[in-house]
Amino acid sequence: MLEAHITGPRGSLYYSAPVTPYDLENLRTHVRDAQSRSPREVHVDVTLDRSREVDRAVTALIWDLAARGVAVSVA
């Protein structure tokens, strides 16, 4: 299970979903929407269940978000 709290200039959003390709893409879309005004002012706090498969999928997402200027923290 994945939980994320997205904060940015347009407000905040809480997102909770299983770790599936669809749900990770859905999270990515929400982050992109939050970036529309000020890309560098978005922060994502991620909490997830630990498993090897989850780690790989979420790590790829985190690297992608960080490359786009999003501050990401993982618990």
CA atoms within 13 A on the CB side of 13: 19
Could you give the angle at which helices 21-35 and 52-67 cross, rounded to 10 degrees? 20
- Encode pLDDT of 10-56 as tens digits: 889 999 999 888 999 999 999 988 887 776 889 999 998 776 666 78
How high is the pLDDT of residue 23?
94
Q: Are 41 and 14 in contact (CB under 8 A)?
A: no
- Encode pLDDT of 53-65 as tens digits: 667 888 899 999 9
Q: What are the domain boundaries of the chain?
A: 2-74
Q: Are 40 and 55 in contact (CB under 8 A)?
A: no
For residues 14 and 51, give the distance between their C-alpha atoms in angstroms, rounded to a whole number. Answer: 22
What's the whole-model pTM score?
A: 0.84
